[in-house]
Chain A
Amino acid sequence: MVDPEHTAPFPVFKTAANPSVTEPASTPEANDEPLLIDRARSGDLEAYDELIRRHQERIYGTVYHMTSNHEDANDLTQETFIKAFQALKSFKGGSSFYTWIYRIAVNKTINFLKLRKNRASMSLNDLDFNAENDPDLVALVSDKTPRRDAGLTELQEKLNEAMGKLSDVHRLVVTLHDVQGVPHEEIAQIMECNVGTVRSRLFYARQQLQGYLSDYLK
């Protein structure tokens, strides 16, 4: 089943190292991935370095949007890749490597958030230069926003605060789908639940966010 929302362009993480979020298996880079995995499994750290380069942005992005803290995201990303290297022998290829490593990252992050519960602190990354030129964001900040004086930085803080009010699983669904652009089916694989659950969680999370951010939405 094709995700209708996924036909929309998602510029997120479409970098040279990571040209496609939605169809990693179809890229030329992804074709040699099994070979890289085999080499890494036998202890070749150069091969593993290449695997890290290919997936680091998505993994870091997911963890960062879940924690809203760069230092925590950095630690968890490193731990994820180290754990994945140690567990590489158990990777049988039943799912794609990136789904598998996503699952490690998500489990680590949710465990971390459970422990951090009462000492959450934001350490937000800066916005890149493109943010000011993004037509959607420009529209939100200027004409359409009731709070016309709200700048992008304020919006960023409010958005992260609102995300922080969601439960971990709801924040995860929003992060993976609306921020990272991962299709429902793959989120279901990552979260080990069915697609219906993903959709209902996404709907609920969006409703919650809309309520929290009503001042900043039309």
Chain B
Amino acid sequence: MDQNEQNFDQLRQLLKLKRHEVPPPGYFNRLPAEIISEIRAEQRAGRDSVSRLATEAHWLMRLWGALEAKPLFGGAFGAAVCALILGALYLTEKPAERPTPMPLNASMASPFTASSPTTIDAQGVGSPLLLAATNLNNVVGPSLFDQAPTLQTAPVSHSPGN
């Protein structure tokens, strides 16, 4: 270490130059006052915002006062707020009602399931296994294709004379 120190002797001499760099005259006499006035300004700003809150929101200040005065009331209020938040979380995470699946009959359900005997339920109405597992009531019903108007083709006559 000593050798290292000796190696750096000149550098350390040069670094001493930094100690002679001084701020403008009187700077250190002014600095504390500036800092203190800045702190005072921040305190005033803080007090102003509290007093503004007090004048503009009486109910909030009354509530705050009540909470401060009665710790039990404060605790109960806190618990109520927590319960409210937990309830809201529970409700938002609860899955929404599933949309009613399109009713299908055995013949139209699926090319794979329609021919399979395992998809025929007790009433004889075919439904895919997947749908049957979610809601049986919804899948029983007439097919949309049954209600669709039948497209019929009309013979077209053609006479070359016309």
Contacts and interface: CB of A to CB of B under 8 A. Distances in A.
A137 B34 CA distance: 35
B140 to A, nearest CB: 68
A156 B17 contact: yes
B17 A53 contact: no
Interface of A: 4-5, 11-13, 17, 45, 48-49, 52-53, 56-57, 60, 64-65, 70, 73-74, 77-78, 81-82, 85, 124-128, 130-131, 134, 136-137, 139-140, 144, 152, 155-156, 159-160, 163, 174-175, 178-179, 203, 206, 209-210, 213, 216-218
Interface string B2-27: 10110110111111111111111001
B148 interface: no
B112 interface: no
B57 to A, nearest CB: 25
Given A52-B31, A78-B34, A217-B11, A134 B16 contact: yes
Interface of B: 1-2, 4-5, 7-8, 10-24, 27-28, 31-36, 38-40, 42
14 contacts: A4-B2, A45-B39, A52-B31, A70-B23, A73-B23, A74-B23, A82-B35, A82-B38, A82-B42, A130-B20, A137-B17, A178-B12, A210-B8, A213-B14
Nearest to A136: B13
Contacts of B8: 206, 210
A139 B13 contact: yes
B1 to A, nearest CB: 8
B40 A56 contact: no
Closest 6 pairs between A and B when the two form their complex, measured CB to CB? A131-B20, A136-B13, A12-B19, A52-B32, A125-B21, A178-B15
A6 to B, nearest CB: 12
